[in-house]
Amino acid sequence: MTDNRTLPAFTLADPTGNEHRFPSGRHALIAFVKEDCPTCNVAMPVIDALFKAYGDTVDFFVAGQTIEGNEKLAEVHNLAGPILDDSALKVAFEYDIDTVPTLYWANSKGEMIGEVIGFVRDEWQALDAEISKVTGSAPAVVDWPSLPEWRPGCGSLSVDPVIADRLRAEASNSPLRARSIDIAPADDEFEFMFDQGFTDGLPVVPPTPERVIRMLSGTKRDAQDIVAQMPPNMGDVTVEKIAINAVMAGCKPEYMPVLIAGIEAICTDEFNIHGVMATTMGAAPVMVINGPIRHKLDMNMKLGALGQGNRANATMGRALRLIVRNVGGAEPGGTERSTLGNPMKFTMCFPEWEERSNWDPLHVERGFEPEDSVLTVFAMTSGPTLIVDQDSREASQIAGSMAMSLESVFHPKAHRVGIDTLLVVCPEHVDTLSRGNYSKADLRRQIQAVTARPLRELIADENSGVGLKQEVADTMAAEKLDRMAPKFASEDFVHIVVAGSDAGKFSGAFHGWASGEIGSMPVSRKIEDG
């Protein structure tokens, strides 16, 4: 029963508005109670008897947890002393109370000299004896034998999960540092978020402090860690800012590690999020997730994987875009200048169905271990463009169909392009390719082979001004014009993943933006635990 730790100071008001400060310079008994707790109702007559016995020499702080409950307790038990208003639960939270009733017996300096949790008759009687000894007053008048020997306490309201998040957000050691914005009661909070320009055009979840605190529980990183600086504003993307935008997007806390990896990836010089957002061509980050985290987050890699309906897929992509908008400052009409825009600018994030093929998944091709969880981000301008082939039965034919479809990347006459493309192969096409023992490398080779055209077929003409300019072609020897130009400058620009339902011979392709050092390169980041 002895411990000299100093108890936190506090001030609480009684029902008449008088403030009671602890420590008070005298011995003190602090009691945390709530009305709907049966054990507290057993204890209240004892607390009342203690007050009557020692109220002259000991200061009593009986802290109740709801205003209505406090009134009821005072009335039912006809208490001689007041019940103080801790309905904000700040004192209970600061004292880290799990259970009511909890009593603290403190000396005049505010140091704890005793603690009693729940109702154990012997402990309460021993406390009475000690107070009697310290004060020199006669013991309290309590019919001890009539009381139950033991009653468990009840949970303090301050540990109710919903309330506890709010209390953590408001506590003096709260990890939150972002500016608080009060929305007037007359304002609709969803309309307010639109008016402030915080949204992507769809409603967002208001990022209240308690929701942000809950979101932060998804990462071990410090809330004020700066994950990256994001252009064009070069705003500091802290873990807290990621969490705020994640709340708005509708994420769960366990998505936080993916978002942190995503922000790291897009803010690299290689990915160049500034150019991706600014280009009139209208690029957007496309996130592909590999590894065990796909299952942990219940991501959808099967039916409709690139579409709507799965929370993790939809909200992680959306959160990334909201951060680009809100922290980076890339807003349409400002530094975001896309001519048409595209729906991927709302969200685009999906996992690879690694188990559905015998190919190395994307992250393994990019140098990670199979058991690593990895995010890879691509700057894509359109997609998924559907590749419809329900007729081919040979692997080479499926690969050829894919090649022909990919010829439309940028423009059919644009060949030897240094443009990344992300090919999403559906399971039925995977099966046909597998029957022909096609590897990803075979598929890439066939795409280059089937798309190869002699340069003379790629000269700009009356049907299209795109292609090899006539005046340049005029300077070239005939044999040079016969030279074959495949679609892509290198097979390395063709990235391949598997996704989609088992039914349907429909693959898809995302078309990229300017690749390499002048534009954007795909970037992979390992997703760290928590």
The contact set with another protein (CB under 8 A) reads 176, 178-185, 189, 193, 198, 206-209, 212, 230-233, 235-236, 240-241, 244-245, 248, 269, 272, 274-275, 278-280, 322, 326-329, 514, 517-520
Q: How far is the CB of 240 from another protein (least distance, A)?
A: 8
Give the shortest CB-219-to-another protein separation in angstroms. 16
Distance separating alpha carbons of residues 260 and 216, to the nearest angstrom: 11
Nearer to another protein, 69 or 209 (CB): 209
The Cα–Cα gap between 527 and 530 comes to 9
Question: How many other CB atoms are there within 10 angstroms of residue 31's CB atom?
Answer: 25
- State how far the Cα of 503 lies from the Cα of 506, in Å rounded to an integer: 9
Compare residues 56 and 188 and give the one whose CB is closer to another protein: 188
* Number of Cβ within a 10 Å radius of residue 11: 11
Q: How far apart are CA 288 and CA 378, in angstroms?
A: 8
Give me the count of residues in the chain: 530
What is the nearest approach in angstroms of another protein to the Cβ of residue 234?
A: 8
State the minimum distance, in angstroms, from the CB of residue 196 to another protein: 9
Q: In the complex, what is the shortest distance from the CB of residue 27 to another protein, in angstroms, rounded to a whole number?
A: 39
Rounded to whole angstroms, the Cα distance separating 466 from 440 reads 31
Structure tokens at 173: 């050691």
d(Cα 73, Cα 69) in Å, to the nearest integer?
Answer: 6
Q: Report how far residue 150's alpha carbon sits from residue 144's, in angstroms, rounded to the nearest whole number.
A: 12
Q: Could you check whether the bond before residue 209 is cis, i.e. omega within 30 degrees of 0?
A: no
Which residues make Cβ contacts (< 8 Å) with residue 79, sequence separation at least 6? 44, 47, 48, 51, 62, 73
Closer of 272 and 376 to another protein (Cβ): 272
Question: Nearer Cβ to another protein, position 285 or 500?
Answer: 285
CB of 411 to another protein, least distance (A): 15
* Least CB distance to another protein at residue 69 (A): 24
Q: Which is nearer to another protein, 98 or 189 (CB)?
A: 189
Q: How far is the CB of 17 from another protein (least distance, A)?
A: 23
CB closer to another protein out of 96 and 517 = 517
**What's the Cα-to-Cα distance from 92 to each of 7, 12, 13, rounded to whole Å?**
12, 11, 14
Closest CA to 451 of 422, 406, 409, 486: 486
Considering the complex, state which of residue 138 and residue 518 has its C-beta at the smaller distance from another protein: 518
Given the complex with another protein, which of 279 and 446 has the nearer CB atom? 279
* Residue 142 vs 379, nearer CB to another protein: 379
Q: Is the CB of 72 or the CB of 252 nearer to another protein?
A: 252
List, as own/partner pairs, every contact residues 172-176 make where C-beta atoms lie below 8 angstroms and the sequence separation is at least 24, other chains included. Answer: 174/209, 174/213, 175/213, 175/216, 175/222, 175/223, 175/224, 175/240, 176/209, 176/212, 176/213, 176/223, 176/240
Q: How far is 160 from 180, CA to CA, in rounded Å?
A: 24
